[in-house]
Chains A and B, each alone.
Chain A
Amino acid sequence: MMKNVCIIAGGMCAWGVREASLRDMFQEAGKACFDDNKAITNKVIDGLLVASAYTERSAFQTHLAPVVAEYLGIKPRTICARVELLCASGSSGIILAYGLIRSGIADIVMVIGGEKLYMPEKWEVFYSELASVDHDWDGPQGLGLPPPAFAMVAKQHMKRYGTTKEQLAMVSVKNRRNGLNNPNAQFREPITLETALNAKDIVPPLTLYDCCPITDGCAAVILACEEKAKDLTDKPLVYIKGTGQATLNNMSANMPSWTTWEALTIAAKQAYESAGIEPSELDVAQTHDCFTISEIIEYEDLGFCEKGQGGLFIQEGKSDFGGQIPINTDGGLLSCGHPFGGTGIRQAIEIMHQLREDATRQVEGARAALTHNLSGFIAAHTVLIYGREP
């Protein structure tokens, strides 16, 4: 008998350029998560999954999960391991915790993830990014930092579908506005369309505000089987309804298409089917807006609009509050920043709040929601669906 799985607590530390170590931030986020639900203490957690991609490069630390367990006073007995899928490490951890709880192997699991990316000298941050792509084939081409790849995507999407620089900028303006009151976001200042359009080029057509920043940060959630969840929270229960994760290629040369992310369509289909839900039934979503063009393609490949209509979708306000489906309601990567292992968990926290109806910027009556991460050289996609019903 498969168990239903709920998300019953979540918290994160302040994200940005932090005067703190990875250990410090894991402690801060763990505490924020326990503080979110006073009925849960570190003593009741039976499993721990730690999501972090760069620990060997930025902290010279492997075997990270027991470090985190020790610092948070958790004594796991069902699982204690690290999960790595670069930008989707956090959401991968949540899928694995979901599977362990659903199958009865674990009951109450903390998934905590984050990165310390800023190094004493900045060159090392950029240099380490070269480890994120296929090391032997894409890395030596200088394709570590993602802007060239996403500029390539944007150019092709603009050419093929008529997407404009204004439409790209509108994503950034929306997400900055959504992040205004998020106390943990890296950026909390609004920007105007004019500011975004006149910003300096990173890799044309992408300007400064089309790109998410480099971020230190950490976030944590606690998942539990429904029976335990009922004892451990008096807030509305939020269930994981379905998941999907797909990859079709890793190296850039094997990308099936740059403007339709086929692995995303596969992951989305898997998630929708396992949740028994249609895209039109979703009330809110957090998608991977590492670049503005990413969010536009995600509207299309997640099935919120027709292929090629992503630019119009933002232009017509359909992804904003009051629109068809508000997206990146906490500010997304463009406001919050992107400490790889933390991002999927940050998204889950926002969705938990939206479905409990206690979010900072609440989507009225939200009952079903989605999170999405892409990772690597647009090489893997991870989709989770949450709801107020199992």
Chain B
Amino acid sequence: MAGLKILEGKYIATMDLYPQESREFNRVYPFYEHLRQGRFTTTRCKGCNHEAFPPRVICPNCLSEDLEWIDLPTTGRVEVVTEEEVGVPLGFESPLIHALIDLGGKLKLFSRIVHCQVGHLKEGDEVKLYVFPVDPVPIQMGRETVLKERVYYAFEPVKKGKSENQVN
């Protein structure tokens, strides 16, 4: 029978929610390598000092190609929270919680918050970077297919030390 069965087991980039992160397909691949090291980074222009997010290969201010990687804060403060319990897209679990996070006055990110229940996250709470593995991409290199590992990021609530209920 003709049809979609031919695609079984195939990697389909056009249905992939996550970016092509590897050096072979992306010039900002260091961002993802930094994520693996627990660093949240972006590019700064060496000419005009403009810091852009997401990272670039040219400066959107002065168009220079002379950029360097800089570290952004990995913790931030919650400004507003949204909680989605219905209509969560495939690939995400309900509840899907998002927050507008102020990263030390450097950047405001609208990010997913993981390890968090509905009603728990409040304005002013601290959150920190959370890096997790994503399905690898099979890339044809010559006659071989190489699996390229991937990671992505969200944020999670910072635990407030030992819980008040906890004994010892």
A residues in contact (CB < 8 Å) with B: 56, 123, 126-127, 129-130, 134-145, 147-149, 151-152, 155-156, 200-204, 251-255, 258
Taking a contact as CB atoms under 8 Å apart, the answer to whether A203 and B18 are in contact is no
Q: Could you list 5 further interchain pairs (A-B, Cβ under 8 angstroms) beyond the known A140-B134, A251-B54?
A: A138-B110, A141-B112, A145-B89, A148-B98, A152-B82
On chain B, which size bracket covers the interface? 20 to 34
Closest chain-A Cβ to B48's Cβ sits at a distance in Å of: 17
Taking a contact as CB atoms under 8 Å apart, the answer to whether B86 and A127 are in contact is no
Taking a contact as CB atoms under 8 Å apart, the answer to whether A152 and B84 are in contact is no
Interface centre among A127, A139, A147, A148 (most CB of B within 10 A): A148
Q: Which 10 A-B pairs have the closest CB atoms?
A: A136-B19, A252-B110, A126-B89, A142-B92, A151-B82, A141-B112, A148-B82, A203-B84, A123-B90, A148-B98
> What is the bound-complex CA distance between A287 and B134, given in angstroms?
40
Taking a contact as CB atoms under 8 Å apart, the answer to whether A152 and B80 are in contact is yes
> What is the bound-complex CA distance between A56 and B12, given in angstroms?
14
A-B contact pairs, 30 of them (CB 8 A): A56-B14, A123-B89, A123-B90, A127-B89, A135-B19, A136-B54, A139-B17, A141-B98, A141-B110, A141-B112, A142-B88, A142-B98, A143-B98, A144-B89, A147-B87, A148-B82, A148-B96, A151-B82, A151-B84, A152-B80, A152-B110, A155-B82, A156-B80, A203-B82, A204-B82, A251-B53, A252-B109, A252-B110, A253-B53, A253-B54
Taking a contact as CB atoms under 8 Å apart, the answer to whether A152 and B100 are in contact is yes
B108 is an interface residue with CB less than 8 A from chain A: yes
Which residue in A134, A152, A200 is a CB contact (below 8 Å) of B98?
A152
- For B17, list chain A residues within 8 Å (CB): 127, 130, 139-140
Tell me the residues in window 67-106 of chain B with beta carbons closer than 8 Å to chain A beta carbons: 80, 82-92, 96, 98, 100
- For B111, list chain A residues within 8 Å (CB): 141
Closest chain-B Cβ to A207's Cβ sits at a distance in Å of: 11
- For A139, list chain B residues within 8 Å (CB): 17
Taking a contact as CB atoms under 8 Å apart, the answer to whether A142 and B110 are in contact is no
Closest chain-B Cβ to A313's Cβ sits at a distance in Å of: 24
> What is the bound-complex CA distance between A136 and B13, given in angstroms?
12
- For B107, list chain A residues within 8 Å (CB): 253
> What is the bound-complex CA distance between A143 and B107, given in angstroms?
18
> What is the bound-complex CA distance between A201 and B110, given in angstroms?
21
> What is the bound-complex CA distance between A265 and B113, given in angstroms?
32
> Closest chain B residue to A203 by CB distance?
B84
B residues in contact (CB < 8 Å) with A: 14-15, 17-19, 53-54, 80, 82-92, 96, 98, 100, 107-112, 134, 152, 154
Taking a contact as CB atoms under 8 Å apart, the answer to whether B87 and A142 are in contact is no
> Closest chain B residue to A135 by CB distance?
B19
Taking a contact as CB atoms under 8 Å apart, the answer to whether B87 and A202 are in contact is yes
- For A138, list chain B residues within 8 Å (CB): 110
Taking a contact as CB atoms under 8 Å apart, the answer to whether B91 and A127 are in contact is yes
If the complex has contacts A141-B111, A144-B89, are A254 and B53 also in contact, measured as CB distance less than 8 A? Answer: yes
Closest chain-A Cβ to B12's Cβ sits at a distance in Å of: 12
Which residue in A56, A155, A202 is a CB contact (below 8 Å) of B86?
A202
- For A147, list chain B residues within 8 Å (CB): 84, 87
- For B85, list chain A residues within 8 Å (CB): 201
- For A155, list chain B residues within 8 Å (CB): 80, 82
> What is the bound-complex CA distance between A68 and B4, given in angstroms?
26
- For B92, list chain A residues within 8 Å (CB): 142
> What is the bound-complex CA distance between A136 and B35, given in angstroms?
14
- For B82, list chain A residues within 8 Å (CB): 148, 151-152, 155, 203-204
- For B98, list chain A residues within 8 Å (CB): 141-143, 148, 152
- For A143, list chain B residues within 8 Å (CB): 98, 110
- For A56, list chain B residues within 8 Å (CB): 14
Interface centre among B18, B19, B82, B85 (most CB of A within 10 A): B82
> What is the bound-complex CA distance between A143 and B86, given in angstroms?
14
- For A202, list chain B residues within 8 Å (CB): 84, 86-87
- For B84, list chain A residues within 8 Å (CB): 147-148, 151, 202-203
Interface centre among B17, B89, B91, B111 (most CB of A within 10 A): B89
Taking a contact as CB atoms under 8 Å apart, the answer to whether A200 and B86 are in contact is yes
Closest chain-A Cβ to B119's Cβ sits at a distance in Å of: 10
Closest chain-B Cβ to A123's Cβ sits at a distance in Å of: 5
> Closest chain A residue to B86 by CB distance?
A202
> What is the bound-complex CA distance between A137 and B18, given in angstroms?
9
- For A134, list chain B residues within 8 Å (CB): 54
Taking a contact as CB atoms under 8 Å apart, the answer to whether B19 and A126 are in contact is no
- For A145, list chain B residues within 8 Å (CB): 87, 89
- For A130, list chain B residues within 8 Å (CB): 17, 89, 91
